[in-house]
Chain A
Amino acid sequence: MVRPLGFLVGLGFIAALVMAILTTPLGNEPNASKAFHKEPRKLALASDGIAPHWDIAQLQRGMQVYKEVCSACHSLKLVAFRDIQAFGYTEGQVKSFAKGFQVPSINPDTGEPATRDGLSSDYFPSPYANDVAAAAANGNAIPPDLSLITKAREGGKNYIYSLLTGYQNPPANMPKELHPGPGLHFNPYFPNLNLAMAQPLQNDQVTYADGTKATVDQMASDVTAFLVWTAEPKLVKRVQVGWAVLLYLLGFTALTFLSYRTIWANKEH
């Protein structure tokens, strides 16, 4: 019973699929924007690979870029000011750094919404009161929170770095309908080619305390390194623990293999 019935069911599915093949066009709809899209360029960081470490000086510079440039539009809601003690700052330094930000609060006398100076336990705030305000200020696009951005985009850190350094004039041969509309800016690394963020970095936009020259490339690398840290502050520890675990498991496996050989020594199998 099962076999004849199965045979018929099988024929039914196959007929439906054969009809599907015959009625599906073999070509794809042309996608003109694909030709102008670029794959991200590679950015090498100290936190890469199998022996990663944090480049503290670079993270400090990256945070400076974030604070002086990006924080005008982007929040970092998952990172607390106290977390930056990881960059070698003292408690006092963190306190005064936090003071430089205004966080939402309530006026204790009137109950009206107000702001106050940041505390170490606060999180990097959003520059806008809410998403509506953010969209209104940015031509209807909401600047995304950057805490997880290097994990939240295909291409990760390479993509963020390429995006920040990739602004350019649209190629001459690009069809008109692909050119940026009002309030949009061409960037071949962005999936839609045109985005609402204008080129945020210009040469010498920040003055680094350690004397590093603030080229666009340098600032883009630094802020990307910082955003790799914000996305996963436990990254270096994770890999270090991984090596210890792997070494232990290697020993475990070797020992079990030897006992397996001993136990089966006189048993053909």
Chain B
Amino acid sequence: MSFPWANQYQPKHPVMKWVDDRLPLPRFVYNAVGAGYPVPRNLNYFWNFGVLAGAALAIQIVTGIVLAMHYAANAGVAFNSVEHIMRDVNAGWFIRYAHMNGASMFFIVVYLHIFRGLYYGSYKAPREMVWLLGVVIFLLMMATAFMGYVLPWGQMSFWGAQVITGFFSAIPGVGEPMRQWLLGGFAPDNAALNRFFSLHYLLPFVILGVVILHIWALHIPGSSNPTGIEVKDEQDTVPFHPYYTAKDGVGLGVFLMIFAVLTFFTPNLLGHADNYIQANPLSTPAHIVPEWYFWPFYAILRAFTFNFLWIDAKLWGVIAMFAAIALLFFLPWLDGSPVKSSTYRPLNKIFFWILLFDIGLLGVCGMMPAEQPWVIFSQIGAIYYFAHFLIILPIISRIERPLPMPGSITEAVLAKHADKSSATA
């Protein structure tokens, strides 16, 4: 579906016309990311992050396929095969560091993409399906990154896998057998490494598939915008190409520059020194920490230290950690406010910033060792996290009085420009 005023595909070249008549792929691309997709004219730079996440996925797939040509998924040689890539493969150091930091860049843009959705209410009707598919992508990314981190078979690879798969043993009865089945043994070893490699190669393509569904679902109602007011007529929109291809190009340039600084100048900044030590099941690192993008969830996991209601503290932690992500699936129905953008939601705006601070605090707690004051900070942080989504949001969406809103996107744009010109006059 699209707006009635959308540009129609007109093949310029006879070859393209020939192809389009037989397989309308050119038309499909034109309508998806070309001049055939009308987009609100008032998008700000926060709308760049979807395209940037797509670019990050493409970079991971390309660098990953090259790595896989030189990598050996065997517990005896995996660590040295990664060092072989770093030392002997042509530009191998570049490919490997790009893949390593590419994972971090992917999570940075996806987190910003999610926060954009939270602030501007992008998860609300009619875009719930876009949001649900997004949460699925987020879960798949976490699984992919976790399994990828195991592949270099360093100390953190091994002990991270040990800790994460250890979650399953918290489940009463079936937990331990399930863990052994998943690992193919009593502890991470060759069997686990091999299946993690197989799945780490598979999942990015599953992600790609879900991304296509995500964009398909988006194109039914079209993109939202910073006012949260739906498109009413043609003057509210511009064609995606060239308007937003140009704007996304600027974002892509900035993204690649930050990526390049990380990859070339400080490639191990976000990594952990212990992963340059080969995995050793007999020597536990002093301080096991996951990659930075898991810190907030790791903090929630460790915040539960009391066997409440006869449920083991460890099991509480595991349930809460999964619940912290799973509750995002229910967000469109937890937030009942008909107004999307926080620009017009004075209460929601305040709590959004508190949530952002809270997630940052949980992140720091996840990085620190389980000592005070970080334990109590993580407990308070986790309380706010659950309270925000499950209690505060449903309540404020009832009691909040939204600010007056402009009649249309164009009206909002013109009002902003009138403000600007009267200010400069």
Q: Please list the residues of chain A having a beta carbon within 8 angstroms of any beta carbon in chain B.
A: 2-3, 6-7, 9-11, 13-28, 50, 78, 144, 147-148, 151-154, 156, 191, 231-234, 238-239, 241-243, 245-246, 249-250, 252-253, 256-257, 259-260, 263-264, 267-269
Instruction: Answer whether residue B303 sits at the interface, using C-beta atoms and an 8 A cutoff.
Output: yes
A118 to B96, alpha carbons, bound, how many Å?
31
Residues of B within 8 A of A239 (CB): 264-265
Q: Does the CB pair A241–B94 fall under 8 Å? A: yes
A156 to B313, alpha carbons, bound, how many Å?
37
Minimum CB–CB distance from B326 to chain A (whole Å) comes to: 10
A239 to B383, alpha carbons, bound, how many Å?
44
Q: Does the CB pair A15–B308 fall under 8 Å? A: yes
Closest to A244 in B: B264
Minimum CB–CB distance from B93 to chain A (whole Å) comes to: 5
Q: Please list the residues of chain B having a beta carbon within 8 angstroms of any beta carbon in chain A.
A: 41-43, 80, 83, 86-87, 93-94, 97, 238, 242-243, 246-247, 249-250, 252-254, 256-257, 260-261, 263-265, 267-268, 273-274, 276-277, 286, 303-306, 308-309, 311, 313, 316, 320, 323, 327, 330, 333-334, 336, 371-373, 375-376, 379-380, 382-383, 386-387, 389-391, 394, 413-414, 417
A24 to B376, alpha carbons, bound, how many Å?
8
Are A18 and B383 CB-contacts (below 8 A) given A9-B390, A13-B320?
yes
Q: Does the CB pair B372–A26 fall under 8 Å? A: yes
Residues of B within 8 A of A78 (CB): 80, 83, 87
A2 to B391, alpha carbons, bound, how many Å?
11
Q: Does the CB pair A191–B379 fall under 8 Å? A: no
Residues of B within 8 A of A14 (CB): 383, 386-387
Minimum CB–CB distance from B71 to chain A (whole Å) comes to: 16
Residues of A within 8 A of B246 (CB): 256, 259-260, 263-264
Closest to A4 in B: B394
A148 to B380, alpha carbons, bound, how many Å?
40
Find A253's partner among B253, B303, B327 (CB 8 Å cutoff): B253
Residues of B within 8 A of A264 (CB): 243, 246-247
A148 to B86, alpha carbons, bound, how many Å?
12
15 contacts between A and B (CB under 8 A): A3-B333, A3-B336, A9-B386, A14-B387, A20-B313, A28-B372, A78-B83, A78-B87, A148-B83, A152-B273, A234-B87, A239-B265, A242-B264, A256-B252, A259-B246
Q: Does the CB pair A269–B379 fall under 8 Å? A: no
Q: Does the CB pair A7–B274 fall under 8 Å? A: no
Minimum CB–CB distance from A79 to chain B (whole Å) comes to: 9
Minimum CB–CB distance from B274 to chain A (whole Å) comes to: 7
Q: Does the CB pair A256–B265 fall under 8 Å? A: no
A2 to B390, alpha carbons, bound, how many Å?
9
- Top 3 A-B residue pairs of the complex, sorted by shortest distance between their CB atoms: A242-B264, A10-B390, A253-B253
Minimum CB–CB distance from A266 to chain B (whole Å) comes to: 11
Residues of A within 8 A of B43 (CB): 269
